[in-house]
Amino acid sequence: METRKLRDLEVSKIGLGCMGMSHGYGDPADKDEMIKLIRRAYDNIGVTFFDTAECYGPYLNEELVGEALEPLRDKVVIATKFGITLDKEHHQVLDSRPETIRKSIEGSLKRLRTDHVDLYYMHRVDTKVPIEDIAGCLGELIQAGKVRNWGLSEAGVQTIRKANAVTPVTAIQSEYSMWWREPEKELLPALEELGIGFVPFSPLGKGFLTGAVKSDATFPANDFRSVVPRFSKECLEANQRFVDFVVSMAQQKGITPAQLALAWVLSQKPFIVPIPGTTKMHRLDENMKSAEIVLSAEEIQSLNDEISKIEIAGDRYPKELASRVGR
C-alpha cells in the first residue's frame, strides 16, 4: 500500500481502527480472530497504522493490539489515546492532568508490549487543564522516548494552535466523511496551514455509508449507535436518500459504497489518513482496496454537488457527548 505523511510520520495510506473489535459496537469479537485480522492487515495488505485507546474496553483493545502487533512492532505505527477515565459508576470522566498522563502512558506501554507509542492523542480536550501544560507534558514524554509524536482528538482550532506552539502536533483525529463534512469549514484549512496531519475516524459514517444499515435497523444497548440521534428510526428513514445516492454512484463506478466513501475522503487532501474499522476479513480487504481507487476531479465535484443538496437528519452525538467536542 502507498504511504502518506502525518507531519513527518509516515504511515500507510489507510489505517485500521481497532476500537470496534472490543468496544462500542456490541459484544467484543473473538480475540484470536481479531489478532488474525490485524496481522493480515499488515502481512497481506501493507497496513502499517493501527489505532486504539486506553478507554476502549477499557484496556481490552490495547491488550489485543499489543498482542497482535508484538511480532511486528518495529514495522508498524501504533496510535493510542489518553484522557478519558472511568469513575466508580463507570461513567467517562475527562482527566488530562500531567500526573494522570504520566500514569496512563505507563499502562499503555505495558498493555501494548512496547517501550514507546508512535502517536499519542489526547482523547478529548480537558478544559480544566491549560492546554499548554498538557502539551508541555507530552513534550517531556517525547524527550524521554516514551512517545514519538502526539496529537489531539476532536479538538477545536484555537486549542490546536495553542498546543502546537508548545510541542508540535503531528495529527488531529476527528470524525469526517461524506456524511459529516464540518471539518472542511475551519479544521482542514488550519491543519493545512500548520502542517498537521488529519486522521478521520468513522469515514464510513459508523457503517451507514456501506448501505448495510437499513432504515428499520435496531441496535443493542452496548452498541454506541443506540444513543446516537442520527441512528434513530426516524433519522435513518430520513437519511435513506443519502445512502441510496452513495450506493447508486458506487454502482456506476463499479465499486462498493464503502470504497466510494473512503476514496472520497482520501481525495480531499494529501495529508488525510482515514482509519475505518471492521471485524470481518472480507470487509478489511474491501476497505483497503479503496487506496487504489482514483476519483477524477469531475467525479469529486459531482459527488460534492449532489451530497450538498441532501439535508442530513439527526446529530452525530447525544447532547452530553456533543459538549466535549470542538473545545
Residues taking part in catalysis? 56
Q: Which residues have CB under 8 Å from 171's CB, separation 6+?
A: 6, 7, 9, 79, 119, 121, 149, 151, 196, 197, 198, 199, 273
CA distance 21 to 56: 9
- Give me the amino acid identity at 89: E
Q: Cell 480472530 sits at which residue?
A: 33
Ramachandran angles phi, psi of 326, nearest 5°: 70, 25
Q: Is 252 within 8 Å of 180 (Cβ atoms)?
A: no
- Give me the amino acid identity at 155: A
For 155-173, the three-class secondary structure string (H helix, E strand, C coil) is CCHHHHHHHHHHCCCCEEE
Structure-block grid coordinates of residue 83: 484522557
Q: Is the dihedral of CA 146, 147, 152, 153 positive or negative?
A: negative
Structure-block grid coordinates of residue 85: 477515565
For 230-295, the three-class secondary structure string (H helix, E strand, C coil) is HHCHHHHHHCHHHHHHHHHHHHHHCCCHHHHHHHHHHHHCCCECCCCECCCHHHHHHHHHHHHCCC
Q: Which residues have CB under 8 Å from 59's CB, separation 6+?
A: 107, 111
| Distance spanning both ends of the chain, measured CA to CA | 35
Q: Tell me the CB-side half-sphere exposure of residue 302, using CA atoms within 13 A.
A: 13
Q: Is 96 within 8 Å of 129 (Cβ atoms)?
A: yes
- Report the Cα 155 to chain-centroid distance in Å: 13
